[in-house]
Amino acid sequence: MDVNEVKKEIMEKLELGELNSGVFYGEWAPVEGRDTLTSYSPIDGSPIAKVTMATKEDYEKVIKKAQESFEVWSDIPAPKRGWIVREIGNELRKYKRELGRLVSIEGGKTLTEGEGEVQEMIDIADFALGLSRQFYGLTIASEREHHRMYEQWLPIGPIGVITSFNFPCAVWAWNTMIASAAGDTSVWKPSSKGALVAIATMKIANRAVEGLGYPPIFFLVVGRGREVGEWMSTDTRLPLISFTGSIPTGKRIAENVAKRLGRTILELGGNNAAIVTPKADTTTALKGVAFRALATAGQRCTTTRRLILHESIYDDFLAKLKNIYEKVSIGNPLEKEVLMGPLIDEKAVENYLNAVKLAQEQGGKLIYGGERAKISGFENGHYVKPTIIEANPDMEIVKTETFAPILYVMKYRTIEEALEIHNNVPQGLSSAIFTTDLQEEEYFLSHRGSDCGIANVNTSTAGAEIGGAFGGEKETGGGRESGSDAWKAYMRRQTVTINYGKDLPLAQGVKFDI
């Protein structure tokens, strides 16, 4: 299959044309008089379609409409909102194949990864339905006679969602399915590199809502990051900005939102490591490391970027891993046997090559890869070889997230040393240990162990599932999404005290008799 064939199959079904409006404010903004961007497929460099970008006037209309819709939407009882969200999930089920294929041609993911991304949206819609009956508040014992205290959770308004290119729709759904059940409407600024997926997703989701007779609750603003991102992060009409992207951009967003004392959910870069101990099951460890270092061509926030191997198994494990790297099929991700597709664009290839160069300058030894992969017939695609570099933990480049399939391998002697190496980076998203030894496993999971938001035992750093709170510590930003009590970020907590007596007793024994 090639990009053109897939394009022919899906574009009409997804209601996409050669030129698409990138702004939805209850209706699609006209395409006239607006700048456009072209969405290219990283698979072969071919243009897929054009998308218009928002003007400031468009943005104002979006916010106004998101506020108006919030008035209606927030009045609907939460379980009913949950039921509507489930219908969005059902509509997505109908388009899983087409939308999944669009994710593949616009983002370069394999077909199963593309469909998997849509499945994640469906799963979170189901999760949100259950959640819509569980926005629990506590009842608190009052020290005052005839008083009752409790807390309730209320919707907060239209929220802003800014997303990265590598999960062009799942991350939007992680936020908005829960936020919608919670009673919020949402304004989405997708990555320009995933603009077509965003438009198609928006059409499917709003169609489900409108089909049930409700006003649209999802709004879209495609545009330049520096422009639209600034409008949103400085806009007090958006009480929460959920941002997924790189650490430098996240810092900028955090600063803007903090200046106006708004709220953020920050899901930023990771630098995830796997520790393999002498007690590991080698087959599981090899699969776990290779799969997550290579999948999505290393462009997952949870990609395994560092491998920490015990000295006694170092040579053997590295040799076996290299063997897998040599055999991995790189190329057109629309072909079933291909495991590793392209990087997103030429800039990403440059970053990859630069990181390989820096790693060697800083003392690293190239074991495998480190160069472009030449794929016949796909010369304009952005393919690189998966790369293994022997490194030491103090190299600057090892502490940096390069969004590409580069794995730094390091040696340790004791489990304490392994965790020191593990925690020796500014990021704190995901982590893994491969061991069958209970003491090693428990050390890894103790307060002296992994300092990440996600800690996995005998499974890889990537591959999170809906239900668990997803997010990381340190420079990863501290946000949590898509499970557990992450819903609280999309609502405001109100502590309520009711006096059903005839007096006005005060707490702490304070007297004020008039």
Helix, strand, coil abundance in the chain, percent, nearest 5: 40, 20, 40
Q: How far is the CB of 193 from ligand NAD (least distance, A)?
A: 7
Token output for 383: 């393919």
Does residue 163 belong to the site contacting ligand NAD (CB under 6 A)?
yes
Active-site residue, 267 included:
yes
* Residue of 13, 45, 9, 14 lying closest to 332 (CA atoms): 45
**Phi/psi at 381 (nearest 5 deg)?**
-80, 175
CB burial of residue 267 (10 Å; 0-12, 13-18, 19+): buried
Instruction: Report which residue type is found at 303.
Output: T
Token output for 439: 């003491």
**Separation CA 161–CA 183 (nearest Å):** 15
- Residue with Cβ nearer ligand NAD (364 or 477): 477
Instruction: Report which residue type is found at 430.
Output: S
The total number of residues written for the chain in this structure = 514
Does residue 231 belong to the site contacting ligand NAD (CB under 6 A)?
no
Does residue 270 belong to the site contacting ligand NAD (CB under 6 A)?
yes
* List 78, 254, 286, 301, residue binding ligand NAD (CB under 6 A): 301
Residue number, nearest CB to ligand NAD: 229
* List 165, 188, 352, 487, residue binding ligand NAD (CB under 6 A): 165
Element housing 272 (H / E): strand 272-276
- Residue with Cβ nearer ligand NAD (167 or 443): 167
Q: Of the ranges 36-44, 145-153, 196-204, 222-230, which one interacts with ligand NAD (CB under 6 A)?
A: 222-230
Element housing 202 (H / E): helix 195-211
Q: Which entry of 98, 106, 120, 267 is annotated as an active-site residue?
A: 267
* Per-position x/- string for 451-490, each x denoting binding to ligand NAD as judged by CB under 6 A, each - no binding: ---------------------x---x--------------
Q: Of the ranges 11-19, 142-150, 247-255, 367-375, which one interacts with ligand NAD (CB under 6 A)?
A: 247-255
Q: How far is the CB of 247 from ligand NAD (least distance, A)?
A: 6
* Per-position x/- string for 116-155, each x denoting binding to ligand NAD as judged by CB under 6 A, each - no binding: ----------------------------------------
**Separation CA 355–CA 105 (nearest Å):** 26
Q: How far is the CB of 262 from ligand NAD (least distance, A)?
A: 14
* Residue of 151, 196, 178, 169 lying closest to 39 (CA atoms): 196
Q: Of the ranges 63-71, 74-82, 129-137, 261-269, which one interacts with ligand NAD (CB under 6 A)?
A: 261-269
Helix (H, G, I), strand (E, B) or coil at 399: helix
Does residue 191 belong to the site contacting ligand NAD (CB under 6 A)?
yes
Q: Of the ranges 109-117, 157-165, 358-366, 487-495, which one interacts with ligand NAD (CB under 6 A)?
A: 157-165
* List 168, 229, 381, 483, residue binding ligand NAD (CB under 6 A): 229
Helix (H, G, I), strand (E, B) or coil at 56: helix
Q: What is the DSSP letter of 397?
A: G
**Separation CA 294–CA 341 (nearest Å):** 9
Q: Which entry of 91, 106, 117, 301 is annotated as an active-site residue?
A: 301
**Separation CA 124–CA 419 (nearest Å):** 33
Identify whether the C-beta of residue 49 lies closer than 8 Å to the C-beta of residue 20.
Answer: yes
Active-site residue, 452 included:
no
* List 267, 441, 451, 475, residue binding ligand NAD (CB under 6 A): 267
- Interface contacts to ligand NAD, rule CB under 6 A: 162-167, 189, 191-192, 225-226, 229-230, 244-246, 249, 252-253, 267-270, 301, 401, 403, 429, 472, 476
Query: What residues are annotated to the active site?
Result: 267, 301
